[in-house]
Copies of this chain bind each other. A is one copy, B any other.
Amino acid sequence: MEVKIGIAKTNKYAVSECGDSVEIAERPRGGISVILADGQGSGRAAKNTSSLVVNKAASLIAEGARDGAVARAVHDYLYAMKDGKVSSTLTILSSDLDTQTILFSRNSNCPVLVKSLYGIEVFDQEVSPIGVHKRMKPLMHEMPLEVGMILISYSDGIQAAGRKRGRVFDFNFLLRLLEKNEPRDAVFIAESILEYALELDDNRAGDDMTVIVMGICEAENHHKIRRISVSFPC
C-alpha cells in the first residue's frame, strides 16, 4: 500500500504572507497525517496563527497523540495564547496504519470529500473554527483504510474563488475530478483544483488558497522508497 499526498498552495494576490499553513506529520505507530489551518484575517498575523496551529498539531501527532485529542489540545492552546480572540480553521487528514483506518477531523467551513469504493461522500456539517469558543469539539470521522480512497480538503480561498467577480466555484468540477482520477494522481488533483480556483479569480487569488489531497494506492515500487518533493517559490 502507498499513501500519496499532493499539496498546492498560493498566496492572496499581492500579499507576501500566506495565512494558510500546511504540515505533514508521520505517525509514530505507523501512517501519516496532513494538517491544514487557515488563520483569521490575512498577512503576517494570519500566517503566525496558522503556523502556530499546524506546528502544535504536527508535534502532538508525532508524539503519538490521537487526532481527536490533538484537535482539542490545539484549540485549547490557541484559546489560551490568544485569549479566545483569534480563530483558525483546522483540518487533519490521517492514514492510520495502526488501526487500519482513515481518520479526519474538521474545524472548518470547507468540506472534506472522500472517494471510496462506495462512491463519493461530502462531509460539510457545520462546525466552529478553533480558538474562540471556550468549549470546542472537532467533527471526527473514521472509516476503514482501503486502496482506492481519495480524500480532498481545501481552504476558504478555494471555496470563495470567483465570488468577487460574480462567478461561482462549481462543486461538480470537484466531483468530476474525483470520479475521473486515481489515488496516485493526488498531486494532479491538488494542482487542478488550485488552477481552477485561480482561473475563477482571473489569476489574482482573492484569498490565500490551499488544496490538500491524500490518495491510497497499491505500492508502486517494492523497495519501499519514500519520496518527498517540494517547490517553494520565494
- Annotate A25-69 by CB proximity to B: 1 below 8 A, 0 otherwise: 010101110000000000000011001000100110011000000
- Decide: A234 near B30, CB < 8 A? Known: A191-B227, A228-B228, A229-B228: yes
Q: B3 and A232: CB pair below 8 A?
A: yes
- Annotate A1-12 by CB proximity to B: 1 below 8 A, 0 otherwise: 111111111110
Find chain B residues with CB under 8 A from A223 CB.
10, 198, 203
Q: A230 and B32: CB pair below 8 A?
A: yes
Which chain B residue shows the least CB distance to A188? B229
Which chain B residue shows the least CB distance to A44? B28
Q: A232 and B32: CB pair below 8 A?
A: yes
Separation of A234 and B233 alpha carbons in the complex (Å): 30
Q: A5 and B63: CB pair below 8 A?
A: no
Q: Does A108 contact B (CB under 8 A)?
A: no
Separation of A62 and B228 alpha carbons in the complex (Å): 19
Q: Does A172 contact B (CB under 8 A)?
A: no
Q: Does A120 contact B (CB under 8 A)?
A: no
